[in-house]
Structure 1
Amino acid sequence: MELPAVFFPRLSGLRITNVLARGATVRVHAETSSAAVRCPDCATLSRRVHSRYERRLLDGAVAGRETVLHLRVRRFFCTFIGCVRRIFAEQIDGLTVRHGRYSELARRILKAVAWSRTPRTRPFRPRLLPAHAGVVPRRRCNTRL
């Protein structure tokens, strides 16, 4: 088993191209390896790539360091004539959501923290947070989770 697969098991469907550790941050550069992606509206399989771009997502901490994922994702043309969506961006299951800036793991951690910190709610329960919950919330992030 490769070392990146040990530290980043939720990135198993991606090809990790580079891992950089600078200061308190770990930057993971990855890209998808699938040949075709389904349109989110009509579920037609598409192989026609429109363009590529880089997405940055905050992820759960690794060894107490903030982790930022630099994902190279593709936009595809929908090949079904009756579909209203002509171009769509691929999403990685269990990792990204549309317009998301946090991975699903970071989103769960931040929601648990936000839920525990709101007034008149249940008392704080640290068992909701994983052991590697070193996610640093941005200002007013709980309104966008």
Structure 2
Amino acid sequence: MATLNLLPDAAQLDLINLTIDHVTHEITATTATTAVEAPCPLCQEPSRRVHSRYKRQWADLPCCGQSVRWIVEVRRFRCQNPGCSRKIF
């Protein structure tokens, strides 16, 4: 059975900023992935060639009565296998 990873491995995240807004009662954690390579989901060929970066946001369960928001900057990689149909992942 294949596993589905929705979140990056916590060991490969850098905490960039953590803010607590006492007016809106919101905690915001900003992180960035640190992995230097990732395997293509189709062919499993590892790639170090970064195509682009983008930010994902999601809300988490409240903590201490404050809403929690995560912002994670992740990278898109290029598949280096010419025979693979997946070019960007």
- Supply the distance in 2 between the matched residues of 1:15 and 1:51 (Cα, whole angstroms): 18
- Supply the distance in 1 between the matched residues of 2:41 and 2:26 (Cα, whole angstroms): 33
Deviation at 1:41, TM superposition (A): 1.1
Structure having the higher strand fraction is 2
- Opposite residue 87 of structure 1, the aligned amino acid is I
Aligned to 2:3: none
**How many corresponding residue pairs?**
79
- Supply the distance in 2 between the matched residues of 1:62 and 1:33 (Cα, whole angstroms): 26
Aligned to 2:14: 15
Which runs of structure 2 are paired with 1:4-43 in the superposition (5 Å)?
Answer: 11-22=10-21, 23-43=24-44
Secondary structure of 2:85's aligned partner: coil
Secondary structure of 1:87's aligned partner: coil
Structure having the higher helix fraction is 1
Structure 1 segments, 4+ long, off by >6 Å, are none
Deviation at 1:58, TM superposition (A): 1.4
- Over the aligned positions, Cα root-mean-square deviation in angstroms equals 1.5
Aligned-pair identity in percent equals 34
- Opposite residue 15 of structure 2, the aligned amino acid is I
- Supply the distance in 1 between the matched residues of 2:26 and 2:10 (Cα, whole angstroms): 18
Give the TM-score normalised by structure 1: 0.51
Aligned to 2:79: 78
- Opposite residue 87 of structure 2, the aligned amino acid is R
Task: Tell whether 2:48 aligns with 1:47.
Answer: yes
- Supply the distance in 1 between the matched residues of 2:60 and 2:20 (Cα, whole angstroms): 14
Deviation at 1:57, TM superposition (A): 1.4
Structure number with greater CO (CA < 8 Å, separation at least 6) is: 2
Asked which structure has the greater CA Rg, the reply is 1
Give the TM-score normalised by structure 2: 0.80
- Supply the distance in 2 between the matched residues of 1:55 and 1:80 (Cα, whole angstroms): 27
- Supply the distance in 2 between the matched residues of 1:49 and 1:24 (Cα, whole angstroms): 36
Q: Structure 1: which 5+ runs fail to align?
A: 1-9, 89-145
Deviation at 1:50, TM superposition (A): 0.4
